[in-house]
Amino acid sequence: MGRESHVDLSRTVIAMHDIVKKFGDFVANDGINLTVHKGEVHAILGENGAGKSTLMNVLYGLYHPTSGYIEVNGNKVSIDSPEKAIELGIGMVHQHFMLVQPFTVTENIILGMEPVKGLTVDLKSAREQVIELSGRYGLQVDPDAKIEDISVGMQQRVEILKVLYRGADILILDEPTASLTPQEIGELIEIIGHLTRDGKSVILITHKLKEIKASADYCTIIRQGKYIQTVNVAEVNEDQLAAMMVGRDVTFKVDKKEQEPGEDALVVKNLHGKDYRNVEILKGLDITVRKGEIVGLAGVDGNGQTELVEIITGLRKGTEGSVMIHGKEVFGKTPREIFEAGITSIPADRQKHGLVLQFSVADNLILQNFGEEEFSSHGILKRDAIQKKATELIEKFDIRPRGSEGKPAGQLSGGNQQKVIIAREITNDSELLIAVNPTRGLDVGAIEYVHKYLVEQRNKGKAVLLVSFELDEIMSLSDEIKVIFDGKIVGSVPGRDANENELGLMMAGGGAHE
C-alpha cells in the first residue's frame, strides 16, 4: 500500500533544540532535537520509558524543559501551559481519552469554548461546525451520538475533532493505536493522510513499527532519554528501526522445534454463553488445545473471544456446554477451583482483571499465591519472603523502574504493568496457559521476550492458547490457527500454511472451511 506524502520541507513548523528535562537526578530527556515540517507525519519511536511522553509534554506545555528551546513557525517561544500550546496551534490527543460519557459528541467537542448566542450556548452552529470538520477530514462522526454509546475508535476521532476545533495545526497523537482494532487502525492511518493533505502536521508517539512504516514520513528514535537519530522512513525497514530503538538486533522469528503435540489439555465442547448485555455470543464453540502446541485464536474483537476466556477461567458463567482441563470438567466451577485444576492466564484487561492498581507491585505478584506456604503461614503474610520474591521477579523480568517492589502498580507504565502480570503468571507454571493479547502495549524488546517465553512453554510440552488481535503474532507463533466468528470456530489452518488474506476472509465471516 503506497502512501502519498504531503511534506513541505520549506516550512518548518516545530523545531525543538537540545531539550533536556530532569526530574531530580533522573534525566528523562537528554539533549533531544526534533524538527517537524508542514504536512509531515513524524513518528517518535522509543521503548516504554525512553522519554517520548516527556518530550511531548514539554512541547505541550505540561513540563518546562530544564534547558534547550523550542521554535514554532520560526519564532522562539516559551510554552508554559497547555493553553499557550493551543494558542500556538499545538493540540494533543492523549492515550487515555478525556471525554464526558453522558454528553454528546458535539457537547464534548465544544466543552470549554462553547460558542455563545446571547446567554445560551449556540449548539446549532457548533453542531454544523462539527459536521463540517468531520466531513473535511473523513472522520464520519455522528455529532449527536452520546460518547457512552460509541466505540473506542470513534471516541478517539472525537478527541481529534476536539483538537481540530480548537484550531490546531500540529497534532500530537500519544499511542493512538493502543486500543484500536486492526480495522480502526487502518482507518486512523487514512484520517492522518487527510489531515496532512490539508497542511496539518502530525506527531505520532508509538512503538509499533508497522504503523510507522504505513503512516510516517520521518521518524525520530529516542533511547533511554537520548536522541539517537532521525530517519526517512522510506529508507529503512522494520528490523533496522527496531535495532535503533532497542540498541541491538532484535529477532522477530522464534525458534520452534518440530514436535508432535501430546494429550489434550483443554477441550471445549459445544460452549454457549452470553455477553454482558445478556445476548448470546457463544453459539456452540468447540476448541481443543493439546500439550506441546500453541493454538492461536484469530478473530475480530467482539466475536466471543473475551467471553470464551472468561468462561474457561470461571469469571463468567456459561449457559451450556463442557470445558475439560486435563480431563477434569470445570464448567461452572469457581475461578479458584479452575486455577487449581492447572491453568494460568494472562487476562485481556490488565487494569480490570490483571492487577489491583492500588496494591504494591510485590502484593500484585502474589495475587493467586498469597495463601501458599511460601508467602504466609497461619494467615500471617511473610512480608520478607514476598519482598524477596518481588525483587527477584523485577530483576528477572526487567520491570522498570527497579526498586518498585513497594510502589503501587498503578504508578508503573502500561508495559511494565503487563510485565508484572506476565511475571506472576509465568511463575505459576501450569500445564495450560491462556494468553489474551499478551503483548498489547509492550515495546519491541518486551514483545520479543513474551514470544520467546510462549514458545519455550510449548517446547517444554505445555499447552498454550493464544488469543490475539494481532494477526502477525498469531501467525508467527501458532502451530494451529483457529478463526472465531460470531461465536463459533469457522476455520482451522496449520500455522505454517497460514496466509493473511485467507485468515482475513474467514475473520470477516466468509470462506468458512474446516
Where along the sequence are the contacts to other proteins (CB under 8 A)?
22, 24-25, 64, 66-67, 313, 315, 334-336, 339-340, 347, 352-359, 363, 367-368, 370-371, 376, 379-381, 383
Amino acid of residue 514:
E
Cα pseudo-dihedral 473, 479, 480, 484, rounded to 10: -20
Least distance (Å) between residue 371 CB and other proteins: 6
Least distance (Å) between residue 508 CB and other proteins: 31
Angle between helices 123-136 and 152-165 (to 10 degrees): 110
The backbone torsions φ and ψ at residue 512, rounded to the nearest 5 degrees and listed phi first, read -70, 130
Element (H, E) at 38: strand 26-38
Least distance (Å) between residue 382 CB and other proteins: 9
Nearer to other proteins, 96 or 352 (CB): 352
Nearer to other proteins, 39 or 354 (CB): 354
Least distance (Å) between residue 389 CB and other proteins: 14
Least distance (Å) between residue 388 CB and other proteins: 16
Nearer to other proteins, 292 or 347 (CB): 347
Least distance (Å) between residue 232 CB and other proteins: 34
Nearer to other proteins, 189 or 362 (CB): 362
Least distance (Å) between residue 419 CB and other proteins: 16
Nearer to other proteins, 5 or 369 (CB): 369
Work out the angle at residue 209's Cα, subtended by the Cα atoms of residues 244 and 62, and round it to the nearest 5 degrees.
Answer: 80
Nearer to other proteins, 252 or 370 (CB): 370
For 180-185, which contacts have Cβ atoms below 8 Å and span 24 or more sequence positions?
180/152, 180/153, 180/156, 181/153, 181/300, 181/301, 181/469, 182/300, 182/469, 182/470, 182/471, 183/300, 184/151, 184/152, 184/153, 184/156, 185/211
Residues 70, 15: contact at Cβ < 8 Å?
yes
Residues 467, 437: contact at Cβ < 8 Å?
yes
For residues 324 and 433, give the distance between their C-alpha atoms in angstroms, rounded to a whole number: 14
Q: How far is CA 67 from CA 16, 17, 49, 90, 166, in A?
A: 11, 9, 20, 21, 29
Nearer to other proteins, 376 or 476 (CB): 376
Residue 260 burial class via C-beta count within 10 angstroms: exposed 0-12, middle 13-18, buried 19 and up = exposed
Residues 84, 61: contact at Cβ < 8 Å?
yes
Least distance (Å) between residue 347 CB and other proteins: 6
Nearer to other proteins, 189 or 393 (CB): 393
Nearer to other proteins, 187 or 405 (CB): 405
| Count of beta carbons in the 10 Å neighbourhood of residue 358 | 10
Least distance (Å) between residue 161 CB and other proteins: 29
Least distance (Å) between residue 422 CB and other proteins: 14
For residues 481 and 500, give the distance between their C-alpha atoms in angstroms, rounded to a whole number: 11
Which residue reads 518440530 in cell numbers? 258
Nearer to other proteins, 352 or 513 (CB): 352
Residue 147: all three cell numbers together = 460518547
Beta bridge partners of 274: 280
Give the three-class secondary structure for 140: coil
